[in-house]
Amino acid sequence: MRQDSADRIQAAWRRELPRLDVDWIGAHTRVVRIARHLQRARSETLRELGIDADALDVLATLRRAGAPYRLTAGELQRSALVTSGAISQRLDKLERAGFVTRRPDMDDRRLVQVELTNRGRREIDRTVEQLLTRESTLLAPFSKREREQLERLLRQWLLHLEPDPE
């Protein structure tokens, strides 16, 4: 069997520190390295499509919310895991581009409702369609059954690492 970079790293640690259990290093190293490759591919695609990851995150979150494609700024902030200042900057940029509008909430004036505009919806639909088409090729080495197995294993791991939101 061909060795990958994770095999070589794991073997080196077994050689250098034989008293330590390094079995987990193979999976961890592969996940980290694959994540880097996936992130690099996504960044290149987004650059070609003329949108940045921050804009994609906000627009996609609004689009996935379903009609009327509206969330509060606080909900967007929590989804993006950023500060209120960071979400404000993102929303300023998207509003200037005509992709979102912001309005005070009619029931609670402390809240700001952010809504995807028709232009924003067209932009995110175009971007996601092209992004998903390109990214689907990254799983080309796997059969449908293998992709399903990979997804089950990764879900199991992620559920272990992330607390249940409810």
The pLDDT assigned to 164 comes to 74
Structure token pair of residue 134: 């390109």
CB 55 within 8 A of CB 94: yes
Which position has the token pair 């990764």? 154
**H-helix or E-strand spanning residue 113:** strand 112-116
Strands 100-104 and 112-116: antiparallel
Please return the burial class of 33, using the count of CB atoms within 10 Å of its CB with bins 0-12, 13-18 and 19+.
Answer: middle
CA–CA gap between residue 66 and residue 156 (Å, rounded): 27
The pLDDT, as a whole number, for residue 67 is 95
- Encode pLDDT of 8-32 as tens digits: 999 999 999 999 998 888 899 999 9
pLDDT in tens, 34-47: 999 999 999 999 99
Q: What is the DSSP letter of 71?
A: E
Spatial distance between the Cα atoms of 109 and 104, rounded to a whole number of angstroms: 6
How many angstroms separate the CA atoms of 49 and 45, rounded? 6
What is the DSSP-derived secondary structure letter of residue 165? Answer: -
**pTM of the full structure:** 0.77
pLDDT in tens, 107-127: 888 888 999 999 999 999 999
Total residues belonging to the chain: 166
Structure-block tokens of residue 103: 């309005």
